[in-house]
Amino acid sequence: MKIITENFLRWLMGLTAWMRYLVIALIVHAAILFGLATVKIAVAIPTVIAQFTGDAPPPPPKPVDDIDPFAALRDFDYNGPTLGGGGGTPGKGPGGIPTAAGTTPTEYKATVLTKDAAAADKTVGEVIGVDVGDTAGAIARLQGGPGAIDAPTMGLGEGRFGTAGVRGPGGGGFGQRVGPMRAKRISQAGSSGEAERSVLAALRWLKENQKPDGSWDSSHPVAITGLATLAFLGHGHTPDDQEFGPTLMKAFQYLVSKGPQGNMYQHAILTYALAEGYGMTQSPALKEPLQKCVDILIKSQQVKKKDALHVGGWRYTQTSDDSDTSVTGWCVQALEAAKLAGASVPESAFEGASKYLWNMFSGGSFGYDKPGGGFRLGTTAIGILCQAFMGQGGDPRIKQALDKLKNEKFEWDKDANWTVYTWYYQTQACFQGGGSYWEHWNNSFRDALIRKQAADGHWDYPPQSKEKYGLAYSTSLCCLMLEVYYRYLPTYQSIEQKQLEKRPPGSNLPTMPKLDAGAKS
């Protein structure tokens, strides 16, 4: 080191004065930079202590193990998006959070959480729960031009075949089918966890037994596919659903491809399914096919009838010159759903249908193709339901008809003829009646129907039934019966409640229970 220093100094002294000053300056600056690079700078960080004055500190979060699986039945203060959410604003949930028509956050999704039917028996919350953290919420949905449904695409928005904002107050008649709104209806209207599990098992059976072309096996495949589609929609499922979305996609592809039908039973049920599908998705791929089907229903209703009593109704074909209550029932349901969905339906269609049904009424019953004709349970239930949908539920004649239905009980082994078909209408008619009419029938049919469900989720026909349209028919109708609590809200106040409100002051008549405060008069 001494030799190096001496050599450096000898070299340095040999330089000119200015060069020596320059070398020394460079050495000094290099030393300063090296020193700065190696010095550690310490900063004192003050300790901040949070203090609560007046209020206690917030409680610690619940451990994961304490989550209540039944909370969906009791706690409806949910600010996530739902299908309309009952909030009354198109495309908005109850907390103002957009639904799919306005970019749904994928971390929220009201859905069925369990893929295995057996596992679903563990908890009600699982069936009706709200899955927070479902990153697959925005899965493939279909987009296509009117009259066709093309290949799946990804994303959210009104141009997609998937969940969209539902129109009008309460989701335009569909918002109560999902999430906490469905949970509230289950609690209010008299359903049960067992009923929801039964519905889920039935939907899984339908999913497993769908044919590759999207239909279900039957001698009338278009109508039965329409009924199965209605069963999925009735439980709040749409083509963007994680479990049942592909099933609905194929079903809609099949229905749209079949287009208008000559048989009015099939055509009306096809229209009904397209109407609910469009109402719950606002898909352009369904809009024009739906309107075409609606237009055919209107044109068929206007065909000149040979009997003046039949004006305003429908029969078996588009050119039938007579009418019957059974076909008319499906046509009215289809047009009502189409109206809710936003399709163009003239008010005159409902006025004509209502007038026809009143023409068939006599002695407290709705007849099949002539007034009354003795009590017919099925057609009387059809008349009640359709008149309720068309705003006639408060008519005193409806109470007469409901009083006749109140004498009927659900008897699986004794009821005959068109058994499941009749029960389908009887369930909806009594639900619309509310009060003791609904309590009586709900207590009679709900648990008895659940007990008759097969282990794999389908329903066989009752032993005396003449219906032979395949298991998808019986399973779909039974499933729709157990969805009655939330498919549509009651369209009018309980008939019995209205009668009591008109009683003279001071009357000591007993007060009848009122099932749903949300029913409109």
pLDDT band at 376 (very low <50, low <70, confident <90, very high): confident
CATH number at residue 206: 1.50.10.20
pLDDT of residue 26: 82
Q: Is residue 336 part of a domain?
A: yes
| List of residues 6+ apart from 89 with CB closer than 8 A | 96, 165
- Identity of the residue numbered 356: Y
**CA distance linking residue 90 with residue 98, whole number of Å:** 9
- Give, to the nearest 10 degrees, the angle between helix 377-389 and helix 325-341: 30
Which tokens sit at 499?
């009668």
pLDDT of residue 372: 76
CB distance 476 to 457 below 8 Å = no
**CA distance linking residue 385 with residue 398, whole number of Å:** 9
CB distance 255 to 296 below 8 Å = no
Q: Is residue 396 part of a domain?
A: yes
Listed residue (244, 227, 231) closest to 112, CA to CA: 244
pLDDT, one tens digit per residue, over 323-362 is 999 999 999 999 999 999 999 999 999 999 999 999 999 9
Total domain count, the chain: 1
pLDDT of residue 501: 54
Average pLDDT over residues 375-399: 94
Cα separations (Å) of 115 from 71, 204, 505?
21, 9, 57
Average pLDDT over residues 61-68: 45
Cα separations (Å) of 275 from 70, 270, 344, 373?
33, 9, 11, 33
| List of residues 6+ apart from 42 with CB closer than 8 A | none
Q: Is residue 1 part of a domain?
A: no
- The domain in which residue 472 lies consists of 182-501
Class of residue 317 by CB neighbours under 10 A (exposed 0-12, middle 13-18, buried 19+): middle
Q: Is residue 457 part of a domain?
A: yes
**CA distance linking residue 420 with residue 517, whole number of Å:** 30
pLDDT of residue 497: 52
Average pLDDT over residues 291-300: 98
Average pLDDT over residues 414-425: 87
Question: DSSP letters along 468-514, please?
Answer: -S-HHHHHHHHHHHHTHHHHS--SS--HHHHHHHTSPTT--PPPPP-
Average pLDDT over residues 376-387: 95
Which tokens sit at 392?
């006639």
Q: Is residue 115 part of a domain?
A: no
- Beta bridge partners, 30, equal none
Q: Is residue 171 part of a domain?
A: no
**CA distance linking residue 18 with residue 379, whole number of Å:** 118
**Residue tagged 């809710």 (tokens):** 340
Lowest mean pLDDT among 122-126, 182-186, 298-302: 122-126
pLDDT of residue 492: 53
Q: Is residue 418 part of a domain?
A: yes
Q: Is residue 339 part of a domain?
A: yes
Length of the chain: 521
Instruction: Tell me the percentage of the chain whose pLDDT exceeds 70.
Output: 67
pLDDT of residue 31: 78
Whole-prediction pTM: 0.69
